[in-house]
Amino acid sequence: MLSPKKKIVFITGTRADFSKIKSLMHKVEDSSDFELFVFVTGMHLSSYFGSTIGEVEKNGFRNIFKFINYDKYYQMDKALATTIDGFSRFVSEVEPDLIVVHGDRIEPLAAAITGSLNNILVAHIEGGEISGTIDDSLRHAISKLAHIHLVNDENAKKILMQLGESEDSIFVIGSPDMELLEQSTISLDEAKRYYDIDFEHYAIVMFHPVTTEFMDMKAQSENLVSALKSSGKNYIVIYPNNDLGFEFITQSYEALRGLARFRLFPSLRFEYFIALLKNAEFVIGNSSCILKEAPYLGIPGILVGSRQNGRAGSQSVLKVEAQSSAILEAIGQIHKIDKTGAKHTEILNSSERFFEYLQSGAFFEIPTQKVFKQIVYKENL
Ligand code: UDP
């Protein structure tokens, strides 16, 4: 008798995680050994944040399940509880062999809790990174619940081992979205036409809340907006994610609406976003893209505030406090940045590596009972 296809569930809650896992999802969907299930929730289903479910659907996956996990206040702890409830009922119906989660948001945390409490293997992509805001705690919590770790590099592996994770459970596959940068086929003209953008020169703005600085987010976003207005440049402004404090940012962007030098968008389609990014004068804000895609593409960045604290920097990125004068000064310096100093990122064929491990059965040999690997310090020997 033929062995049944193994069922693999991916959860996606935002454009940010989807761009990082979709190449892996295609590998699973295209294989006759596995069956892909996609649980779509979070910002994807919110029209306010651009209904990015459309991006997921355009990929043509057969089994897509939609679940609204928020109410009108987008409260993060309540959304976490709701997602656990919905995802738990979903897995009891599907009975997956493996759950794949990415990153550091409440949706992957909900899926990792559900998987680990039901003895279902959980694989976590991009654990072992360090950053600011609540993301850092969420990411490490997900790693502690996951059984399998698919990490960017050797440094991430060391950080997970410091958290007590077993070396056998950590697989270096690289960052899955980076391979997509080479494959993007949309031209700048197409992207500009699609979004009706007529700037010749422009920069991209992506600023998210720092949940642990909630009380200061109104001032930070107003400072950013004031500097952008004073700079005299053209900007494509992309809405933040729905983390605590996002309204401060979207409210301050209202001052830009209708101004000729600014175009506001809830979210851009990934390939179009990459085409616009490749041709941007610079990118400003606190998106992970400032430290990942932008340096790789040779686009300078200005990192505002603390959200990416702890992540490896790049010579092509200026880091400033979220104060108007500092931001404006950095914008004035941007032409001096040596783009050749951009961080060189080695692009691994992540989806291929992921699929090889999947097919070899390596993931399925990992036990659901985890063992904490204690580091033995010299003085205790
Ligand atoms: N992205 C996209 N369209 C957009 C903005 C972002 O496709 O309009 C993708 C892009 O790959 C980017 C990633 O989402 O690198 C993450 O961006 P974001 O700033 O939303 O999230 P972060 O990773 O900083 O949490």
242 lines ligand 1 (CB under 6 A): no
Q: Is 15 in the pocket of ligand 1 (CB under 6 A)?
A: yes
Tell me whether domains 6-175+348-380 and 183-342 share a fold: yes
HEC string of the chain equals CCCCCEEEEEEECCHHHHHHHHHHHHHHHCCCCEEEEEEECHHHHCCCCCCCHHHHHCCCCCCEEECCCCCCCCCHHHHHHHHHHHHHHHHHHHCCCEEEEECCCHHHHHHHHHHHHCCCEEEEECCCCCCCCCHHHHHHHHHHHCCEEEECCHHHHHHHHHCCCCHHHEEECCCCCHHHHHHCCCCHHHHHHHHCCCCCCCEEEECCCCHHHHHHHHHHHHHHHHHHHHHCCCEEEECCCCCCCHHHHHHHHHHHCCCCCEEEECCCCHHHHHHHHHCCCCEEECCHHHCCHHHHHCCCEEEECCCCCCCCCCCCEEEECCCHHHHHHHHHHHHHCCHHHCCCCCCCCHHHHHHHHHHHCCHHHCCCCCCCCCCCCHHHC
Look up the pTM and report it: 0.93
55 lines ligand 1 (CB under 6 A): no
- C-beta of 129 in contact with ligand 1 (< 6 A): no
Nearest residue (by CA) to ligand 1, atom 7, is 270
Mean pLDDT computed over every residue of the chain: 94
For the stretch 141-160, pLDDT in tens is 999 999 999 999 999 999 99
Give the pLDDT confidence of 271-322 residue by residue, as tens digits: 999 999 999 999 999 999 999 899 989 999 999 999 999 887 778 899 999 9
> Residue 344: its pLDDT value, please?
57
For 211-261, write each residue's pLDDT tens digit: 999 999 999 999 999 999 999 999 999 999 999 999 999 999 999 999 999
- From ligand 1's centre to the CA of 364, what distance in Å? 31
Q: Which of 236, 288, 299 to mutate to test the pocket of ligand 1 (most atoms within 8 A of CB)?
A: 288
Residues 108-133 have a mean pLDDT of 96
Model confidence band, residue 181 (pLDDT cutoffs 50, 70, 90)? confident
CATH architecture entry for 183-342: 3-Layer(aba) Sandwich (3.40)
Query: Which pLDDT belongs to residue 348?
Result: 75
- Is the domain defined by 6-175+348-380 classed in CATH 3.40.50.2000? yes
**Which protein residue has the closest C-alpha to ligand 1 atom 24?**
287
Higher pLDDT, 99 or 2: 99
Please give the distance, rounded to the nearest whole angstrom, from the Cα atom of residue 175 to the centre of ligand 1: 14
- The rounded percent of the chain whose pLDDT value lies above 70 is 97
Give the domain ranges of the chain.
Answer: 6-175+348-380, 183-342
Q: Is the pLDDT of residue 5 over 70?
A: yes
Pocket test for ligand 1, best of 17, 19, 51, 241 (most atoms within 8 A of CB): 19
Does the pLDDT of residue 338 top 90, yes or no?
Answer: no
pLDDT surpasses 80 at 184 = no
Question: pLDDT tens digits, residue range 55-104?
Answer: 999 999 999 999 999 998 899 999 999 999 999 999 999 999 999 999 99
Instruction: Kindly give the distance from the C-alpha atom of residue 268 to the centroid of ligand 1, in angstroms, as a whole number.
Output: 9
* 368 pLDDT more than 90: yes
pLDDT band at residue 345 under the 50/70/90 scheme: low
pLDDT at position 177: 83
Give residue 315's pLDDT: 81
Confidence of residue 31 (pLDDT cuts 50, 70, 90): very high
pLDDT at residue number 342: 54
Decide if pLDDT at 341 tops 70: no
Residue 376 pLDDT greater than 90, yes or no? no
